């Protein structure tokens, strides 16, 4: 930890093996940020419980898989503090204090939370699936952030309402307990290239359209070969329209140079490359880029003890820091 650097906290729910959307949307960014900020990255297993409290059989495994993906993508325990939320019980205590001061209607207004509740109902769940804990989702997030007095919270645009609410809760805490110790965190928005799934919809494992970091090369190729391309192209030498080929052409833009994209563009328009060949070449490129990450992952898979040690060590480090803040919280609340 270098003194004087601004601090960031961010987390990811432990939902299982991560895909390329996570890589380009989050991990590539964290990997950069860890060189510039005092970084705290954690696996949000309590947040996973807010919606998955009744299917916990994969919970611990998911945490482990997320850790494997992070580490193989270059989130570095020597640069960042990497931990598991539930290994830092101070966060739960802070959550209690924050839950007392957060007006009920503040959480009820949170648009991201409303979306989550709506998605649950549309997924066939009834109201009993929408728990008290789920309502506290943004309050728990505030505890995650305030626990380390973070200045910035790197998140995607969908999480911004939560962070705004966190600012409000921290400000209210400071006002009620007459302190200016706790930092009002700001979202750190990144221009994230939205990575579509191979079917053109949002990439997600529930849609089975995702390319996992941990997929093997064959599976990756198969998934890319299944992508829809310019539908007006019937024969291999029909002139194509890259702008109507949202998946494959967009992937080229993410995975290769501007020059290569221009080349594909021109070959496609002239009908000089077939879609099958284009996709096969793309798959090769994707596999090439993922090769070192996958090799690292394999290495770590063979050493589960090391991965668990990294999580424990990071969590211990986080606990030490968290305890200092928790003591400060108890002092200003006048618990003793
Ligand atoms: N809610 C975030 C997500 O679903 C994960 C998260 C939990 C988080 N606590 C956080 C992100 C604190 C930033 C800061 O992506
Ligand atoms: Fe898309 Fe490539 Fe087919 Fe052109 S050749 S339509 S870019 S898959």
- Look at ligand 1, atom 14, and give the residue with the nearest C-alpha: 10
Please return the burial class of 135, using the count of CB atoms within 10 Å of its CB with bins 0-12, 13-18 and 19+. Answer: middle
| Separation between Cα atoms, residue 21 and residue 316, nearest integer Å | 30
Kindly state if the Cβ of 47 falls inside 6 Å of ligand 1: yes
CA–centroid distance, 244 to ligand 2, in Å, is: 9
CA–centroid distance, 254 to ligand 2, in Å, is: 15
Write down the residue that tokens 């211990």 correspond to.
316
Q: What tokens does 195 get? A: 């990575």
- DSSP for 16-84, please give it: SS-BHHHIIIIIHHHHHHTTTSEEEEEEEHHHHHHHHTT--TTHHHHHHHHHHHHHHTT--TTTEEEEE
- Look at ligand 2, atom 4, and give the residue with the nearest C-alpha: 268
Q: How far is CA 319 from CA 83, 90, 98, 264, in A?
A: 9, 7, 18, 51
| Spatial contact of 86 and 65, defined as CB atoms under 8 Å apart | no
Let me know the angle formed at the C-alpha of 82 by 76 and 85, rounded to the nearest 5 degrees: 160
- Ligand 2 pocket by Cβ (under 6 Å): 229-230, 233, 240, 242, 245, 248-249, 264, 268, 273, 275, 278-279
Break the chain into its structural domains and give their ranges.
7-195+306-333, 215-297
Q: What is the pLDDT along the chain (336 residues), one digit of tens a residue?
A: 456 899 999 999 999 999 999 999 999 999 999 999 999 999 999 999 999 999 999 999 999 999 999 999 999 999 999 999 999 999 999 999 999 999 999 999 999 889 888 988 998 888 888 899 999 999 999 999 999 999 999 998 889 999 999 999 999 999 999 999 999 999 998 777 778 999 999 998 888 999 999 999 999 999 999 999 999 998 989 999 999 999 999 999 999 999 999 999 999 999 999 999 999 999 999 999 999 999 999 999 999 999 999 999 999 999 999 999 999 999 999 998
Instruction: Give the class (CATH, top level) of 7-195+306-333.
Output: alpha beta
Q: So what's the architecture of 215-297 in CATH?
A: Orthogonal Bundle (1.10)
Q: Give the atom of ligand 1 at the shortest distance from the alpha carbon of 162.
A: 1
């Amino acid at each position: 930890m270098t003194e004087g650097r601004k601090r960031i906290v961010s987390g990811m729910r432990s939902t299982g093996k991560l895909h390329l959307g996570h890589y380009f949307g989050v991990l590539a960014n964290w990997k950069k940020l860890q060189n510039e900020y005092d970084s705290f990255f954690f696996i949000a297993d309590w947040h996973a419980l807010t919606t998955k409290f009744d299917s916990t059989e994969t919970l611990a495994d998911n945490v482990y898989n997320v850790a494997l993906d992070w580490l193989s993508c270059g989130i570095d325990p020597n640069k960042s503090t990497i931990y598991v939320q539930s290994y830092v019980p101070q966060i739960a205590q802070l959550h209690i204090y924050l839950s007392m001061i957060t007006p009920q209607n503040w959480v009820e207004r949170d648009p991201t939370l409303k979306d989550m509740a709506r998605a649950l109902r549309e997924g066939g769940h009834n109201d009993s699936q929408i728990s008290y804990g789920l309502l506290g989702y943004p309050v728990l997030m505030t505890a995650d952030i305030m626990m380390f007095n973070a200045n910035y919270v790197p998140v995607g645009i969908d999480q911004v309402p939560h962070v705004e609410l966190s600012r409000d809760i921290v400000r209210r805490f400071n006002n009620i307990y007459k302190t200016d110790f706790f930092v009002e965190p700001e979202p750190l928005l990144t221009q994230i290239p939205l990575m579509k799934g191979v079917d053109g919809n949002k990439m997600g494992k529930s849609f089975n359209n995702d390319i996992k970091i941990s997929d093997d090369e064959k599976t990756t190729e198969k998934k890319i070969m299944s992508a829809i391309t310019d539908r007006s192209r019937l024969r291999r030498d029909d002139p194509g329209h890259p702008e109507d080929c949202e998946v494959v052409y967009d992937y080229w833009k993410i995975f290769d140079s501007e020059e290569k994209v221009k080349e594909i563009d021109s070959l496609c328009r002239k009908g000089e490359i077939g879609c099958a060949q284009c996709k096969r070449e793309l798959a090769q490129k994707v596999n090439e880029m993922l090769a070192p990450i996958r090799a690292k992952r394999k290495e770590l898979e063979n050493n589960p003890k090391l991965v668990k040690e990294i999580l424990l060590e990071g969590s211990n480090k986080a606990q030490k820091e968290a305890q200092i803040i928790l003591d400060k919280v108890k002092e200003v609340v006048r618990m003793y």
